Structure 1
């Protein structure tokens, strides 16, 4: 009997979980609401150290929305640390920087994708659909 293939099979939205990592209250609120609109359970932390700590506590996420510029531990440091810890979640860099040098440095830290702020439902949906396609 042939094995069933997962091509074209979509996961229920509730199976995707996300972590918003951003020190800006407005960005936190926007990203939290966009994720809620898409039916994605999500947590919010205010810096990279908290993102690392929440993973050390055993929580797992399919998607991490990572800001670049934060106090305590920035997005570049946090992304590198999470990758060093073996975290395979999709990490989407989200920043207001448009300089290609700044974007490249962030991407090289271990991002899967980079989007400039503001994040939109369409941008977020493209990232989520990629996660579902890999599931």
Structure 2
């Protein structure tokens, strides 16, 4: 028991929630598992419209891992819409696209940070540490 307190496991103030927004099932699984490894409660949706809808239903997340290219509503549209709705969560763009023009377009939509796929524990920890400092 004291050991878990030392590692911050029992501290409710350290809890972070995340939303994985990606249409690729392999990426969903990887990001979901990485978040679980870090003890981050997370939900998964398959496109930007579902990300917007889940927020409209009243759910809130500290972190949103947003893929760029998805059917129905892509990551850029979804990010713009979430920001227009007043969502202040940290939105991390996660994509295999790395051209500076594509990244810039994503950032202009309201992105906080961008990482190329695949995410790693180190990349995820760098994003999560920024959330904890923001709070």
> TM-score with structure 1 length normalisation?
0.90
Structure 2 residue ranges without an equivalent (≥5): 1-7
Structure 1 residue ranges without an equivalent (≥5): 1-9
Counterpart in the other structure of 2:3:
none
Counterpart in the other structure of 2:5:
none
Q: Which runs of 4+ in 1 moved over 6 A?
A: none
Equivalenced residue count is 126
> TM-score with structure 2 length normalisation?
0.90
Would you say the 8 A contact 1:13–1:39 is kept in 2? no
Would you say the 8 A contact 2:14–2:132 is kept in 1? no
Would you say the 8 A contact 1:91–1:112 is kept in 2? yes
- RMSD value over aligned CA atoms? 1.4
Matches within 5 A, 1:7-86: 15-86=15-86
Deviation at 1:26, TM superposition (A): 0.2
CA–CA distance in 2 between the matches of 1:13 and 1:118? 29
Counterpart in the other structure of 1:130:
130
> Which digits, 9 at most, give the CA deviation of each residue in 1:91-127, with x for residues without a partner?
0000000111111101110000000001000000000
| Greater RCO, 1 or 2 (C-alpha within 8 Å, sep 6+) | 1
> Which digits, 9 at most, give the CA deviation of each residue in 1:19-75, with x for residues without a partner?
000000000000000000000000000000000000000000000000000000000
